Structure 1
């Protein structure tokens, strides 16, 4: 049996710089792994793909990216036996944290380890792109610049051990709908990606926090006013900076003081059940 942790991600920046003819948006974003994860237990079985999950609202059929990842791997490499996948879900769903993609990446890695240990991460990333644009990053992990539609992943100097509070309000957001509602020509302020990368290189949390930018906030924050309220509340508790992750609705904030972070967590947890205190890894 393979037991893997599937880690969530946040965006330290997210910029949309164009659109392809097929409708996919061209992105330039800085992704960061955080210490919030699902646990997957994966083992061989005689035939089929069988998924169980601790959350009743998570589909256990071909709607689940973990299922599709297993099927993709089997079809690609001619695997005739089956697989059992148990998912202990801790990452909020439809949250902008790549929880489904992280699970799919873990399945691809586990099946590689079980069947074809010679397959390298780059090949898995290319394979995973067929079912999800966040999967290549989730295969690589860490701190990375992601470009194209997400398939060009350039590792950056690790931005580890920075405390953050993560708040997921009690609703989900459709990534597809957010991108459909985004008008690229109306984006006035883009992230200064180069400045953020340089600050990461020097491990300057304050500079990163002050310059984080996600152009998808232009869409999601207008639809859900509570997200702006959450951001303001986090700043009120002493956060260095806040940002929406991905297409939302999760909001995170960096802190340079654990006592302030703990106080913020205690207060926000009363209002929002899915509030987490964690750190970058």
Structure 2
């Protein structure tokens, strides 16, 4: 058996650059992992792919990204073996945290190890991209500046000296719904997010007016509760706060441990809330 932790990510900034001819959108964003994870347990089987999940609302048929990942990998390598996948969910669904994509990537790497499959990193990334635009990111550790649909990745070290308080308001946001309501504004500048993060890491107040999430106006208009979470993060001492992905999770960066813990305690009475220590990384 192989057991893996599939960590969530946050988007530190999300700029929608343009709508492509194929209907997708090009984005600029920074992916950064946080300390909340699903657990994936893989057991070899004679043939086929089966899934069991501890969350009843998660599908366990061919629509599950883990199943798609396993079948695509077995087909690509010509393996006749199978696998049973046990999925223990902790990352909220529809929260902008990439839980399903992280799970799928963990299946790709874990199944390669479990069945001793021969496949190159580039081939594995190609399979990952077909499953989801942000799945390739989770194949490697570290933070990454992502472009294109999210599959063009430049990994870099981002050691954040802040407590990250992550709040999930319990509202499921559909990414296609959010993209469908986005209206491109050519007057909005496209910043180099990696450069901004690294140059002003010690002074995140500089990020407040420069780093944005283009989905926030759309989501906040439809769900004021999510906007209020961001406002409360700032009121309770966050140096920087932003919605992750298409929502609905919102995170705040805190210099002060006491403020971070007090904020997390406040939100945890109502919402699933997670805290990541300064400098944390999955390794």
Q: 2-side partners of 1:102 and 1:161: how far apart?
A: 24
Distance change >3 Å, CA 165–CA 112, structure 1 → 2: same
Q: Partner of 2:137 in structure 1?
A: 137
Q: CA deviation at 1:138?
A: 1.3
C-alpha contact 2:164 2:251 (8 A) present in aligned 1: yes
C-alpha contact 1:191 1:212 (8 A) present in aligned 2: no
The farther-off stretch of 98-107 and 124-133 is 124-133
RMSD of the alignment, in Å?
1.8
List runs of 5+ in structure 1 lacking aligned partners: none
C-alpha contact 1:187 1:215 (8 A) present in aligned 2: no
Q: 2-side partners of 1:37 and 1:79: how far apart?
A: 29
Q: CA deviation at 1:114?
A: 2.3
Q: Equivalent residues in 2 for 1:1-281 (5 A)?
A: 1-116=1-116, 118-160=118-160, 162-184=162-184, 186=185, 188-190=187-189, 192-194=191-193, 196-200=194-198, 203-204=201-202, 206-207=204-205, 209-210=207-208, 211-272=210-271, 274-279=272-277, 280-281=280-281
Which of structure 1's runs of 4+ aligned residues deviate more than 4 A?
A: none
C-alpha contact 1:6 1:37 (8 A) present in aligned 2: yes
Q: CA deviation at 1:88?
A: 1.1
Q: 1-side partners of 2:139 and 2:206: how far apart?
A: 24
Q: CA deviation at 1:141?
A: 3.7
Q: 1-side partners of 2:161 and 2:76: how far apart?
A: 38
Q: 1-side partners of 2:216 and 2:186: how far apart?
A: 10
Distance change >3 Å, CA 83–CA 212, structure 1 → 2: same
Q: CA deviation at 1:202?
A: 6.7
C-alpha contact 1:126 1:151 (8 A) present in aligned 2: no
Q: CA deviation at 1:53?
A: 1.2
Q: CA deviation at 1:78?
A: 1.1
**Match of 1:125, SS?**
helix
List runs of 5+ in structure 2 lacking aligned partners: none
Q: 2-side partners of 1:88 and 1:135: how far apart?
A: 19
Distance change >3 Å, CA 6–CA 229, structure 1 → 2: same
C-alpha contact 2:77 2:117 (8 A) present in aligned 1: no
C-alpha contact 2:42 2:114 (8 A) present in aligned 1: no
